[in-house]
A and B are shown apart, each in its own frame.
Chain A
Amino acid sequence: EPEVTQTPSHQVTQMGQEVILRCVPISNHLYFYWYRQILGQKVEFLVSFYNNEISEKSEIFDDQFSVERPDGSNFTLKIRSTKLEDSAMYFCASRVSLYNEQFFGPGTRLTVL
């Protein structure tokens, strides 16, 4: 069964460093998403991406964040200068269309020291 994959599973970084989180969505999906979940808190929407551009973004997704689909398979989230409060699980999701469910990846645990 096709699934969303994410790498790495755990990333540890120093405050102020740049990190890139990688996702491979399901191959025939057209809509891509990033969410984050701070330990013990809700899953929060960050950004949606369709047709090579951002469709929607939340207040969390400020200028420190960017997304890219550099080729036909990868979807990346970049955090330019990490802060302690960026420590969270980051989930990638994809869907075939707006009328179908989103499938989530296993997440990347980001720890900022």
Chain B
Amino acid sequence: EDQVTQSPEALRLQEGESSSLNCSYTVSGLRGLFWYRQDPGKGPEFLFTLYSAGEEKEKERLKATLTKKESFLHITAPKPEDSATYLCAVRTNNNDMRFGAGTRLTVKP
């Protein structure tokens, strides 16, 4: 069965304290791994798509990487406005999106 597991569930950082979020997946046929940011009461906001092992994408303080079994979202020198829930999702052979439960990130000033 296709599964997406994110860790940790929650992460509290001080402003400027870099860290990484993990997304591990087992899917029958990966057709893209997606990172989204979700603020409370809002819809997921697209961040990155990764398609193949070794691929990396960057945007401001965020960098996403992909291996054959997991993806990392690295946050460098985070700011309080980076506080949100970060969702990982995979597109399966059935073309549906399977989401992880998310990592709730809090960045304290």
Contacts and interface: CB of A to CB of B under 8 A. Distances in A.
Interface of A: 4, 33, 35, 41-45, 48, 55-56, 58, 89, 91, 93, 98-99, 101-107, 109
Nearest to B34: A101
Interface of B: 31-32, 34, 36, 41-46, 49, 87, 89, 94-102
25 contacts: A4-B43, A33-B97, A35-B97, A42-B99, A42-B100, A43-B87, A43-B97, A45-B96, A45-B97, A48-B95, A48-B96, A58-B96, A91-B43, A93-B43, A98-B31, A98-B95, A99-B32, A101-B34, A101-B46, A101-B49, A102-B46, A104-B45, A105-B43, A106-B43, A109-B41
Given A56-B94, A102-B97, A107 B49 contact: no
B87 A107 contact: no
Contact of B44 (A43, A45, A58, A109): A43
Contacts of A104: 36, 43-46
Contacts of B96: 45, 48, 56, 58
Chain B interface, >50% SS class: loop
A93 B46 CA distance: 11
**Which of A35, A43, A89: most chain B CB closer than 10 A?**
A43
Nearest to A4: B43
A48 B98 CA distance: 13
Given A45-B96, A104-B43, 20 more contacts: A35-B97, A41-B101, A43-B89, A43-B99, A44-B99, A45-B98, A48-B95, A48-B96, A55-B95, A56-B95, A56-B96, A91-B43, A93-B43, A98-B31, A98-B95, A102-B97, A104-B44, A104-B46, A105-B43, A107-B41
B11 to A, nearest CB: 17
Contacts of A44: 99
